[in-house]
Structure 1
Amino acid sequence: MKTSTSARATDNETGKPNRKEDILLSAERLFAMRSYDAVSIRDIADEAGVPSRLVGYYYGKKEDLFDAIFVHRQDNIAERRRRIQDADLQGPPEQALREIVNAWCGPVITMRDKPEGEHFLVLVARSVWEQSEVAIETIKRHYDALAEDFIAALAIIYPDRPRTWHCWAYQWSLGALLMHIADRRVERLSRGAAQPGDPSALPRLVSFLCAGIHAMAQEPAA
C-alpha cells in the first residue's frame, strides 16, 4: 500500500483544489498505514498540504475526522446490507448460504480492487485488529448493523442453532475476509503468484467460507 501527496482532490464543478476532501483522503491513508493513535493532526495537514487549522475547521476533533471517513464510505456498507436483505433464504441451505456470503463479500472485494478503496479497507481491518477505544466505537456505530444482518440471515438458514453459533460463524468469516483484503503476506508466501485482495479469488473465498459454515452445521447441535 502506497501513499502519495501528489494526487489532490478537485471540485468537479470548478476544477479547483478540494482541500476538505484532500484532508479526508489524507487522513484515511495515514490512519490505514499507521493506526489512529500514531497519526496527529499535524501529520494529516502535512499529508494534505494544508495548514493544521483547516483540519479542525472542516472536521473538528481527530475522532470526528476518523468517523467522517466511515461516513464517506457508507455506500459500500449500505450495498452489502441491501444485498443481504434482498437475498432469497428460502431455498436449499447451501444455496442460500452462498447467496448471503457472496452479498457480504462481493462489494468489499470490488472496492478493494480500486486504489481509493484499498486504504479504507485496510483502515477497517486495522481498526478491528487494534481495538483502540475510538476504533471500537466507530466499528460498532458503522458495522454492527451489517453484522446483525448477516447473523440474522444465518439464523434463518440454520434455525436450529443458537445465536452464539451464528455469531462464531460470522466472526470466523470476518477474519478470513479481513486477511484477504489487508494482509500482504500471501504475495511473499506465493512468491508473487498471489496478490492480496485479488478480485478473481472471490469465488474461492466464498466457497471457503461456505464450506466452513456448512461443516459447522453438520456437527450435532449443542
Structure 2
Amino acid sequence: MGSAQKSSDLKTWTKRSRPGRPEGIGDNSSERILDAAELVFAETGYAGASLRNVASKAAVTQALINYYFGSKYGLYEAVFIRRGRSISDDRMTRLEELKKRKQPVTVNDVVRAFLAPTIALRAVPGGRTFLRLQARLHTEPAEISYKLRNEAYDASTRAYVEYFKEICPQLSDKDINWRVALMVGAYMYAFSDTHRLEQLAPNVCNPNDSEEIFEQITAFVTAGLLAPPVHPV
C-alpha cells in the first residue's frame, strides 16, 4: 500500500472514530460557549466556575462543551488563548514596525506599542470581560496560570525586554526586567475595571475613558523605565 493511500486511510479512520457531534449544533456554538465561559471565569475564577453554568449561559448542553473543548481546563485554555495570543501577535507586529522606522524610537513609543493592543480590547465586545479574567489569572494555581501566561505572552514580552535593553543601554538587565514586570502589573490593574478611582477621585478621574487611561499609564510607565538605574551597568 502506498504512503498516500495510508495517509488517506488514517484520516478516514480518525474522522470515523471521533465521537459524533451532539445534535442541535449551530454554526456559532463554539464562539457562544467561549463568550459565556469568558464571563463565568472572569466572575468566579477557575475554581468557582462550572460547566453547568457555562452551558446555561451559552444555551447549550454540557456534552457540547465537552465535544468542543474536552474538559473545564480545555475550555479555560481556549478562552484565554483566544484573546491572549491576538494581543501578543499585535504587540510583535507593532514592535517590528518600530524597528523598521527611520526616525529614532523613544521609550514612550515602545511602551505605547506594548500597551495599545490591550487597551483596544476595551472597545471590543467581551474585551473588558477578558481583561478582568486576565487580571484574575495571577491568583489562579501555578499549574494553570504559568502555562497559559507563558503560552500567550512569553515570546512577545521577552522581545520587548530585549528591545528595551537596546534603547536603554544605561539600565542593567535586572532593572529592565523589573520595570517591564511592573509595567505589566500596572496595566492589568488599570485596565481591569476595579472602579477604585471612582471612589478615590470621583468627578476627577474617568476610568471609563480609554484614552485617559492610556495616556496616564503610558506617562507613568515611561517615567518609570527612564528612572535612574538602581543597578548601574
**In percent, how many aligned pairs have the same letter?**
28
Contact 2:46 2:140 in 1 (8 A): no
The two structures have a TM-score, normalised by structure 1, of 0.82
By how many angstroms is 1:192 displaced?
Answer: 5.0
Q: Deviations over 1:92-148 (max 9, x none)?
A: 6xx521111000011211112333211111111110244542122111111111210
The CA distance in 1 between the partners of 2:169 and 2:58, in whole Å, is 50
Kindly provide the amino acid, as one letter, of the partner of residue 214 in structure 1. Answer: L
1:105 paired to 2:115: yes
The CA distance in 2 between the partners of 1:17 and 1:68, in whole Å, is 18
1:164-203 aligned at under 5 Å gives the runs 164-182=174-192, 183-191=194-202, 193-196=204-207, 198-201=209-212, 202-203=214-215
Any stretches of 5+ residues in structure 1 without a counterpart? Answer: 1-15
1:96 paired to 2:106: yes
RMSD, aligned α-carbons: 2.2
1:156 paired to 2:161: no
Which residue of 25, 41, 53 maps to 2:51?
41
1:1-222 aligned at under 5 Å gives the runs 18-73=28-83, 74-88=85-99, 95-182=105-192, 183-191=194-202, 193-196=204-207, 198-201=209-212, 202-217=214-229, 219=230, 221=232
Partner of 1:5: none
**Secondary structure of 2:205's partner?**
coil
Q: Residues 177 and 60 (structure 1 numbering): CA distance in 2 closer, same or farther, change over 3 Å?
A: same
Contact 2:95 2:110 in 1 (8 A): yes
The CA distance in 2 between the partners of 1:147 and 1:221, in whole Å, is 23
**Secondary structure of 1:50's partner?**
coil
By how many angstroms is 1:72 displaced?
Answer: 2.0
**Secondary structure of 2:106's partner?**
helix
Contact 2:175 2:231 in 1 (8 A): no
Larger radius of gyration between Structure 1 and Structure 2 = 2
By how many angstroms is 1:197 displaced?
Answer: 5.5
The CA distance in 2 between the partners of 1:186 and 1:131, in whole Å, is 29
The CA distance in 2 between the partners of 1:98 and 1:142, in whole Å, is 24
The CA distance in 1 between the partners of 2:154 and 2:173, in whole Å, is 15
Kindly provide the amino acid, as one letter, of the partner of residue 20 in structure 1. Answer: S
Q: Residues 45 and 70 (structure 1 numbering): CA distance in 2 closer, same or farther, change over 3 Å?
A: same
Partner of 2:3: none
Any stretches of 5+ residues in structure 2 without a counterpart? Answer: 1-25
By how many angstroms is 1:160 displaced?
Answer: 4.4
By how many angstroms is 1:208 displaced?
Answer: 1.0
The CA distance in 2 between the partners of 1:47 and 1:213, in whole Å, is 43
Q: Residues 136 and 197 (structure 1 numbering): CA distance in 2 closer, same or farther, change over 3 Å?
A: farther
